[in-house]
Amino acid sequence: MAGLTIKNLYKRYDNSGKKKNVQNDYAVKDLNLVAEQGEFIALLGPSGCGKTTTLRMTAGLEEITKGEIYIGDVLVNNLHPKDRHIGLAFEDYAMYPPLTVYDNIAFNLKAKGVDKAEIDRRVREIAPLMQCDDLLDKMPVKLSGGQKQRVNIARAIIRRPELLLMDEPLSHLDGKARQAMRTEIKRLINEIKCTTVYVTHDQLEAMSLADKIAIIDLGVLQQFGTPAEVYDDPVNEFVASFIGEPPMNILETTIVGESDHFLFTFENSNLRIVVPERYNNVVSNGFKCKVGVRPMDVLIGGADSKGSPEKVATFENLGDERRIGIHVGETLLMLITDDETRYKAGDIIKLEVRGEKTHLFDLKTGERIRER
Ligand code: ATP
Protein backbone atom coordinates (compact mmCIF):
# COMPACT_ATOMS: atom_id res chain seq x y z
CA MET A 1 0.00 0.00 0.00
CA ALA A 2 1.18 3.51 -0.80
CA GLY A 3 1.37 6.79 1.02
CA LEU A 4 0.37 10.13 -0.42
CA THR A 5 2.55 13.20 -1.03
CA ILE A 6 1.08 16.54 -2.05
CA LYS A 7 3.63 19.15 -3.09
CA ASN A 8 2.93 22.87 -3.58
CA LEU A 9 -0.56 22.18 -4.83
CA TYR A 10 -2.70 25.00 -6.23
CA LYS A 11 -6.19 25.10 -7.68
CA ARG A 12 -7.71 28.10 -9.33
CA TYR A 13 -11.16 27.79 -10.86
CA ASP A 14 -11.75 30.01 -13.86
CA ASN A 15 -14.26 32.13 -11.96
CA SER A 16 -12.48 32.24 -8.59
CA GLY A 17 -10.29 35.23 -9.54
CA LYS A 18 -13.39 37.37 -9.73
CA LYS A 19 -14.01 37.10 -6.02
CA LYS A 20 -13.32 40.24 -4.02
CA ASN A 21 -11.44 38.34 -1.33
CA VAL A 22 -7.93 38.13 -2.77
CA GLN A 23 -6.90 35.41 -0.32
CA ASN A 24 -9.66 33.29 -1.75
CA ASP A 25 -8.29 33.73 -5.25
CA TYR A 26 -7.18 30.13 -5.17
CA ALA A 27 -9.48 27.38 -3.94
CA VAL A 28 -6.29 25.59 -2.83
CA LYS A 29 -3.08 27.51 -2.26
CA ASP A 30 0.40 26.01 -1.94
CA LEU A 31 -0.73 22.89 -0.10
CA ASN A 32 1.95 20.50 1.17
CA LEU A 33 0.96 17.27 2.88
CA VAL A 34 2.44 13.83 3.43
CA ALA A 35 0.38 10.84 4.49
CA GLU A 36 2.68 7.95 5.38
CA GLN A 37 1.72 4.52 4.17
CA GLY A 38 -1.29 3.28 6.18
CA GLU A 39 -1.91 6.64 7.84
CA PHE A 40 -5.38 8.14 8.27
CA ILE A 41 -5.39 11.83 7.40
CA ALA A 42 -8.37 14.13 7.92
CA LEU A 43 -8.82 17.31 5.89
CA LEU A 44 -10.74 19.60 8.21
CA GLY A 45 -12.04 23.11 7.76
CA PRO A 46 -15.14 25.25 7.26
CA SER A 47 -17.35 25.03 4.21
CA GLY A 48 -15.60 26.28 1.06
CA CYS A 49 -12.05 26.01 2.44
CA GLY A 50 -10.90 23.67 -0.36
CA LYS A 51 -11.17 20.19 1.17
CA THR A 52 -13.24 18.60 -1.58
CA THR A 53 -11.19 20.30 -4.29
CA THR A 54 -8.02 18.77 -2.80
CA LEU A 55 -9.63 15.35 -2.65
CA ARG A 56 -10.93 15.58 -6.20
CA MET A 57 -7.51 16.59 -7.52
CA THR A 58 -6.03 13.59 -5.68
CA ALA A 59 -8.65 11.35 -7.26
CA GLY A 60 -8.00 12.78 -10.73
CA LEU A 61 -11.50 14.22 -11.01
CA GLU A 62 -10.32 17.83 -11.03
CA GLU A 63 -7.51 19.38 -13.02
CA ILE A 64 -4.47 20.56 -11.03
CA THR A 65 -3.51 24.22 -11.58
CA LYS A 66 0.01 23.79 -10.22
CA GLY A 67 1.89 21.33 -8.03
CA GLU A 68 2.43 17.60 -7.77
CA ILE A 69 0.57 14.66 -6.31
CA TYR A 70 2.34 11.34 -5.69
CA ILE A 71 0.65 8.12 -4.69
CA GLY A 72 3.55 6.09 -3.32
CA ASP A 73 6.45 7.06 -5.60
CA VAL A 74 4.26 7.58 -8.65
CA LEU A 75 3.52 11.09 -9.89
CA VAL A 76 -0.19 10.83 -10.70
CA ASN A 77 -0.86 14.34 -12.08
CA ASN A 78 -1.54 12.98 -15.53
CA LEU A 79 -2.90 9.56 -14.62
CA HIS A 80 -6.53 8.70 -15.31
CA PRO A 81 -8.55 8.13 -12.09
CA LYS A 82 -8.94 4.44 -12.88
CA ASP A 83 -5.15 4.03 -13.00
CA ARG A 84 -4.54 5.64 -9.60
CA HIS A 85 -5.52 2.57 -7.50
CA ILE A 86 -7.86 4.61 -5.36
CA GLY A 87 -11.17 3.87 -3.68
CA LEU A 88 -13.71 6.66 -3.49
CA ALA A 89 -16.55 7.10 -1.01
CA PHE A 90 -18.31 10.40 -1.46
CA GLU A 91 -21.22 11.79 0.51
CA ASP A 92 -23.84 10.87 -2.07
CA TYR A 93 -24.36 7.14 -1.98
CA ALA A 94 -24.14 6.85 -5.78
CA MET A 95 -25.61 3.36 -5.90
CA TYR A 96 -27.21 1.81 -8.95
CA PRO A 97 -30.93 1.53 -7.99
CA PRO A 98 -31.80 -1.46 -10.22
CA LEU A 99 -28.95 -3.55 -8.81
CA THR A 100 -28.91 -5.46 -5.53
CA VAL A 101 -26.43 -4.53 -2.82
CA TYR A 102 -24.32 -7.53 -3.92
CA ASP A 103 -24.19 -6.31 -7.51
CA ASN A 104 -23.51 -2.74 -6.40
CA ILE A 105 -20.52 -3.86 -4.34
CA ALA A 106 -19.34 -6.14 -7.16
CA PHE A 107 -19.87 -3.57 -9.92
CA ASN A 108 -16.35 -2.20 -10.29
CA LEU A 109 -14.75 -5.64 -10.21
CA LYS A 110 -17.18 -6.86 -12.86
CA ALA A 111 -16.36 -3.83 -15.01
CA LYS A 112 -12.69 -4.73 -14.70
CA GLY A 113 -13.46 -8.27 -15.91
CA VAL A 114 -12.49 -9.98 -12.65
CA ASP A 115 -13.37 -13.65 -12.52
CA LYS A 116 -16.86 -14.41 -11.08
CA ALA A 117 -15.63 -16.72 -8.33
CA GLU A 118 -13.02 -14.15 -7.27
CA ILE A 119 -15.68 -11.42 -7.20
CA ASP A 120 -17.88 -13.59 -5.01
CA ARG A 121 -14.99 -14.33 -2.66
CA ARG A 122 -14.19 -10.63 -2.31
CA VAL A 123 -17.80 -9.48 -1.84
CA ARG A 124 -18.21 -12.05 0.93
CA GLU A 125 -14.93 -10.95 2.49
CA ILE A 126 -15.78 -7.24 2.49
CA ALA A 127 -19.49 -7.51 3.41
CA PRO A 128 -18.97 -8.68 7.02
CA LEU A 129 -16.27 -6.03 7.55
CA MET A 130 -18.86 -3.36 6.75
CA GLN A 131 -21.65 -5.34 8.44
CA CYS A 132 -23.65 -5.56 5.26
CA ASP A 133 -23.55 -9.35 4.78
CA ASP A 134 -27.27 -9.63 5.55
CA LEU A 135 -28.08 -6.86 3.04
CA LEU A 136 -26.58 -8.45 -0.05
CA ASP A 137 -29.91 -9.45 -1.63
CA LYS A 138 -31.66 -6.15 -0.90
CA MET A 139 -32.33 -3.33 -3.34
CA PRO A 140 -30.82 0.09 -2.47
CA VAL A 141 -34.27 1.65 -2.05
CA LYS A 142 -34.89 -0.66 0.94
CA LEU A 143 -31.80 0.49 2.85
CA SER A 144 -31.56 2.98 5.70
CA GLY A 145 -29.12 5.89 5.49
CA GLY A 146 -26.55 4.09 7.65
CA GLN A 147 -26.83 0.89 5.59
CA LYS A 148 -26.33 2.88 2.38
CA GLN A 149 -23.24 4.52 3.85
CA ARG A 150 -21.82 1.09 4.73
CA VAL A 151 -22.46 -0.28 1.24
CA ASN A 152 -20.91 2.88 -0.22
CA ILE A 153 -17.72 2.29 1.74
CA ALA A 154 -17.70 -1.45 0.90
CA ARG A 155 -17.82 -0.46 -2.80
CA ALA A 156 -14.84 1.82 -2.28
CA ILE A 157 -12.63 -0.73 -0.56
CA ILE A 158 -13.45 -3.88 -2.53
CA ARG A 159 -10.90 -2.93 -5.14
CA ARG A 160 -8.24 -2.99 -2.43
CA PRO A 161 -7.20 0.54 -3.19
CA GLU A 162 -3.76 1.84 -2.37
CA LEU A 163 -5.42 5.02 -1.26
CA LEU A 164 -8.93 5.40 0.14
CA LEU A 165 -10.51 8.83 -0.37
CA MET A 166 -13.64 9.66 1.61
CA ASP A 167 -15.58 12.91 1.39
CA GLU A 168 -18.01 13.43 4.29
CA PRO A 169 -19.14 9.79 4.06
CA LEU A 170 -21.28 10.16 7.20
CA SER A 171 -22.90 13.47 6.34
CA HIS A 172 -26.39 12.04 5.90
CA LEU A 173 -26.45 10.34 9.28
CA ASP A 174 -27.82 11.82 12.46
CA GLY A 175 -26.00 11.97 15.82
CA LYS A 176 -26.18 8.39 17.13
CA ALA A 177 -25.86 6.62 13.78
CA ARG A 178 -22.97 8.90 12.94
CA GLN A 179 -21.14 7.98 16.08
CA ALA A 180 -21.74 4.27 15.49
CA MET A 181 -20.42 4.50 11.92
CA ARG A 182 -17.41 6.46 13.13
CA THR A 183 -16.50 3.52 15.34
CA GLU A 184 -17.07 1.12 12.44
CA ILE A 185 -14.86 3.13 10.10
CA LYS A 186 -12.11 3.15 12.70
CA ARG A 187 -12.34 -0.63 13.10
CA LEU A 188 -12.40 -1.14 9.34
CA ILE A 189 -9.37 1.05 8.66
CA ASN A 190 -7.44 -0.74 11.42
CA GLU A 191 -8.27 -3.98 9.70
CA ILE A 192 -7.48 -3.06 6.09
CA LYS A 193 -4.59 -0.70 6.95
CA CYS A 194 -5.14 1.43 3.89
CA THR A 195 -3.76 4.97 3.54
CA THR A 196 -6.86 7.13 3.92
CA VAL A 197 -7.75 10.76 3.30
CA TYR A 198 -11.01 11.77 4.92
CA VAL A 199 -12.74 15.09 4.31
CA THR A 200 -14.90 16.49 7.09
CA HIS A 201 -16.00 19.78 8.59
CA ASP A 202 -16.72 18.01 11.88
CA GLN A 203 -13.79 18.44 14.24
CA LEU A 204 -15.00 15.62 16.52
CA GLU A 205 -14.94 13.20 13.59
CA ALA A 206 -11.44 14.32 12.63
CA MET A 207 -10.15 14.16 16.21
CA SER A 208 -11.55 10.68 16.85
CA LEU A 209 -10.57 9.06 13.54
CA ALA A 210 -7.39 10.60 12.23
CA ASP A 211 -3.71 9.96 12.89
CA LYS A 212 -3.07 13.46 11.60
CA ILE A 213 -5.35 16.39 10.83
CA ALA A 214 -4.77 19.03 8.15
CA ILE A 215 -6.70 22.14 9.18
CA ILE A 216 -7.44 24.36 6.20
CA ASP A 217 -8.91 27.86 5.96
CA LEU A 218 -9.50 29.81 2.72
CA GLY A 219 -7.50 27.25 0.73
CA VAL A 220 -4.45 27.59 2.98
CA LEU A 221 -3.14 24.87 5.29
CA GLN A 222 -3.06 26.26 8.82
CA GLN A 223 -1.63 23.30 10.71
CA PHE A 224 -0.90 19.64 10.04
CA GLY A 225 -0.44 17.51 13.12
CA THR A 226 -1.74 14.78 15.38
CA PRO A 227 -5.02 15.42 17.21
CA ALA A 228 -3.04 16.08 20.40
CA GLU A 229 -0.78 18.59 18.62
CA VAL A 230 -3.57 20.63 17.09
CA TYR A 231 -5.52 20.61 20.36
CA ASP A 232 -2.69 21.35 22.80
CA ASP A 233 -0.37 23.35 20.61
CA PRO A 234 -2.40 25.31 18.02
CA VAL A 235 -0.29 27.51 15.73
CA ASN A 236 -2.84 30.30 15.50
CA GLU A 237 -6.20 31.61 16.67
CA PHE A 238 -8.07 29.93 13.81
CA VAL A 239 -6.88 26.43 14.78
CA ALA A 240 -7.35 27.16 18.49
CA SER A 241 -10.96 28.17 18.00
CA PHE A 242 -11.81 25.50 15.38
CA ILE A 243 -10.69 22.53 17.50
CA GLY A 244 -12.53 21.81 20.73
CA GLU A 245 -16.16 21.83 21.80
CA PRO A 246 -17.14 24.19 23.30
CA PRO A 247 -14.43 26.23 21.61
CA MET A 248 -11.48 27.83 23.35
CA ASN A 249 -12.30 31.14 25.05
CA ILE A 250 -10.33 33.85 23.26
CA LEU A 251 -10.35 37.33 24.78
CA GLU A 252 -8.65 40.59 23.96
CA THR A 253 -6.42 41.65 26.81
CA THR A 254 -4.16 44.49 27.90
CA ILE A 255 -1.21 43.42 30.01
CA VAL A 256 -0.63 45.43 33.18
CA GLY A 257 2.71 45.24 34.99
CA GLU A 258 2.66 44.93 38.80
CA SER A 259 5.74 44.97 41.03
CA ASP A 260 6.87 41.40 40.34
CA HIS A 261 4.40 39.99 37.86
CA PHE A 262 2.06 40.87 35.01
CA LEU A 263 -1.74 40.65 34.85
CA PHE A 264 -4.14 39.99 32.01
CA THR A 265 -6.81 42.72 32.21
CA PHE A 266 -9.98 43.04 30.15
CA GLU A 267 -12.00 46.03 29.00
CA ASN A 268 -15.19 46.64 31.03
CA SER A 269 -14.36 43.83 33.44
CA ASN A 270 -12.78 43.52 36.88
CA LEU A 271 -11.31 40.14 35.99
CA ARG A 272 -7.56 39.95 36.56
CA ILE A 273 -5.53 36.86 35.74
CA VAL A 274 -1.88 36.47 36.65
CA VAL A 275 0.24 36.09 33.51
CA PRO A 276 2.32 32.90 33.78
CA GLU A 277 6.01 33.66 34.27
CA ARG A 278 6.95 31.92 31.04
CA TYR A 279 5.51 34.88 29.12
CA ASN A 280 7.60 37.47 31.00
CA ASN A 281 9.98 37.88 28.05
CA VAL A 282 7.25 38.49 25.48
CA VAL A 283 4.87 40.83 27.31
CA SER A 284 5.30 44.32 28.78
CA ASN A 285 3.15 46.87 30.53
CA GLY A 286 0.40 48.01 28.12
CA PHE A 287 1.02 45.14 25.66
CA LYS A 288 -2.18 44.16 23.83
CA CYS A 289 -2.88 40.67 22.50
CA LYS A 290 -5.47 37.90 22.78
CA VAL A 291 -5.41 35.25 25.45
CA GLY A 292 -6.98 31.84 24.89
CA VAL A 293 -8.01 29.28 27.48
CA ARG A 294 -10.17 26.19 27.08
CA PRO A 295 -13.44 26.00 29.09
CA MET A 296 -12.11 23.02 31.07
CA ASP A 297 -9.10 25.06 32.17
CA VAL A 298 -11.28 27.71 33.82
CA LEU A 299 -12.12 26.60 37.34
CA ILE A 300 -14.40 27.46 40.24
CA GLY A 301 -12.31 28.10 43.33
CA GLY A 302 -13.28 26.95 46.84
CA ALA A 303 -14.24 29.19 49.78
CA ASP A 304 -10.62 30.26 50.48
CA SER A 305 -9.80 30.76 46.79
CA LYS A 306 -7.93 33.89 45.74
CA GLY A 307 -9.75 33.71 42.41
CA SER A 308 -11.57 36.67 40.96
CA PRO A 309 -15.22 36.96 42.19
CA GLU A 310 -17.41 36.90 39.08
CA LYS A 311 -21.15 36.81 38.43
CA VAL A 312 -22.67 33.76 36.71
CA ALA A 313 -24.45 34.87 33.51
CA THR A 314 -25.59 31.50 32.11
CA PHE A 315 -25.84 27.97 33.52
CA GLU A 316 -26.51 24.79 31.53
CA ASN A 317 -26.78 21.34 33.07
CA LEU A 318 -25.81 18.71 30.46
CA GLY A 319 -25.97 15.76 32.85
CA ASP A 320 -22.35 14.72 33.12
CA GLU A 321 -21.04 18.28 32.94
CA ARG A 322 -22.23 21.80 33.61
CA ARG A 323 -21.42 24.83 31.51
CA ILE A 324 -21.22 28.25 33.08
CA GLY A 325 -20.94 31.52 31.18
CA ILE A 326 -19.42 34.66 32.71
CA HIS A 327 -19.46 38.08 31.04
CA VAL A 328 -15.97 39.46 30.55
CA GLY A 329 -16.73 42.79 28.90
CA GLU A 330 -18.62 41.91 25.72
CA THR A 331 -17.39 38.31 25.63
CA LEU A 332 -19.02 35.32 27.30
CA LEU A 333 -16.29 33.28 28.96
CA MET A 334 -17.35 29.62 29.19
CA LEU A 335 -16.24 27.16 31.80
CA ILE A 336 -17.01 23.47 32.12
CA THR A 337 -17.27 21.88 35.53
CA ASP A 338 -18.40 18.62 37.12
CA ASP A 339 -19.26 20.57 40.29
CA GLU A 340 -22.85 19.49 40.99
CA THR A 341 -24.00 22.83 42.45
CA ARG A 342 -26.97 24.22 40.52
CA TYR A 343 -25.85 27.78 39.90
CA LYS A 344 -28.20 30.45 38.67
CA ALA A 345 -27.65 33.77 36.94
CA GLY A 346 -26.33 36.33 39.41
CA ASP A 347 -24.55 33.83 41.73
CA ILE A 348 -20.97 34.80 42.53
CA ILE A 349 -18.18 32.28 41.92
CA LYS A 350 -14.44 32.58 42.41
CA LEU A 351 -12.91 32.25 38.99
CA GLU A 352 -9.50 30.60 38.58
CA VAL A 353 -7.63 30.00 35.36
CA ARG A 354 -4.96 27.38 34.77
CA GLY A 355 -2.23 29.79 33.75
CA GLU A 356 -0.07 27.01 32.28
CA LYS A 357 -2.86 26.25 29.80
CA THR A 358 -3.19 29.76 28.39
CA HIS A 359 -2.15 30.65 24.84
CA LEU A 360 -1.36 34.12 23.51
CA PHE A 361 -2.26 35.26 20.00
CA ASP A 362 -1.23 38.32 18.00
CA LEU A 363 -4.06 40.85 17.94
CA LYS A 364 -3.80 41.47 14.17
CA THR A 365 -2.50 38.28 12.58
CA GLY A 366 -3.91 35.73 15.04
CA GLU A 367 -0.52 33.98 15.05
CA ARG A 368 0.48 32.31 18.29
CA ILE A 369 2.86 34.33 20.46
CA ARG A 370 5.23 31.82 21.96
CA GLU A 371 7.16 32.18 25.18
CA ARG A 372 10.90 32.62 24.76
P1 ATP B 1 -17.72 22.02 1.64
O2 ATP B 1 -17.41 21.48 3.01
O3 ATP B 1 -18.82 23.04 1.65
O4 ATP B 1 -17.88 20.98 0.60
P5 ATP B 1 -14.96 22.44 0.81
O6 ATP B 1 -14.00 22.81 1.89
O7 ATP B 1 -14.96 21.03 0.38
O8 ATP B 1 -16.42 22.90 1.22
P9 ATP B 1 -14.55 23.14 -1.95
O10 ATP B 1 -15.78 22.46 -2.42
O11 ATP B 1 -13.25 22.48 -2.24
O12 ATP B 1 -14.64 23.43 -0.39
O13 ATP B 1 -14.52 24.62 -2.52
C14 ATP B 1 -13.40 25.49 -2.37
C15 ATP B 1 -13.67 26.79 -3.12
O16 ATP B 1 -13.72 26.53 -4.53
C17 ATP B 1 -15.00 27.43 -2.77
O18 ATP B 1 -14.81 28.83 -2.77
C19 ATP B 1 -15.90 27.00 -3.89
O20 ATP B 1 -16.91 27.96 -4.13
C21 ATP B 1 -14.95 26.94 -5.07
N22 ATP B 1 -15.35 25.91 -6.05
C23 ATP B 1 -15.55 24.60 -5.81
N24 ATP B 1 -15.90 23.95 -6.94
C25 ATP B 1 -15.94 24.90 -7.92
C26 ATP B 1 -16.22 24.87 -9.33
N27 ATP B 1 -16.53 23.74 -9.93
N28 ATP B 1 -16.16 26.05 -9.99
C29 ATP B 1 -15.84 27.18 -9.38
N30 ATP B 1 -15.55 27.29 -8.07
C31 ATP B 1 -15.59 26.17 -7.35
Model confidence over 42-77: pLDDT tens digits? 999 999 999 999 999 999 999 999 999 999 999 999
What's the rounded Cα separation, in Å, for the pair 153 and 2?
19
Whether 261 and 312 have beta carbons less than 8 Å apart is answered as no
Q: Which of 19, 20, 52 to mutate to test the pocket of ligand 1 (most atoms within 8 A of CB)?
A: 52
Gap from CA of 50 to ligand 1 centroid (Å): 6
Distance 78 CA to ligand 1 centre (A): 22
Of all protein residues, the one whose alpha carbon is nearest to atom 1 of ligand 1 is 47
Q: What is the pLDDT of residue 22?
A: 46
- In ligand 1, the atom with minimum distance to the C-alpha of 54 is 11
| pLDDT tens column, 185-210 | 888 888 888 899 999 999 999 999 99
291 alpha carbon – ligand 1 mean position (Å): 32
Report pLDDT digits (tens) over 68-119.
999 999 999 999 998 998 999 887 767 899 999 999 999 989 988 999 999 9
Residues with CB under 6 A from ligand 1: 13, 15-16, 27, 45, 47-53, 201
- Measuring from atom 19 of ligand 1, which residue has the nearest CA? 48
Task: Specify the pLDDT at position 15.
Answer: 67
Calculate how far, in angstroms, residue 367's C-alpha sits from the geometric centre of ligand 1. 26
Overall size of the chain counted in residues: 372
Atom of ligand 1 nearest to the CA of 11: 16
For the ranges 23-37, 60-74, 139-153, 190-204, the one whose mean pLDDT is highest? 60-74
Closest residue to atom 18 of ligand 1, CA basis = 48
Q: Within 13 Å, how many C-alpha atoms sit on residue 189's CB side?
A: 24
**pLDDT attached to residue 135:** 93
pTM (two decimals): 0.90
**Ligand 1 centroid vs 366 CA: distance in angstroms?**
25
CA dist 55 and 197 (Å) reads 8
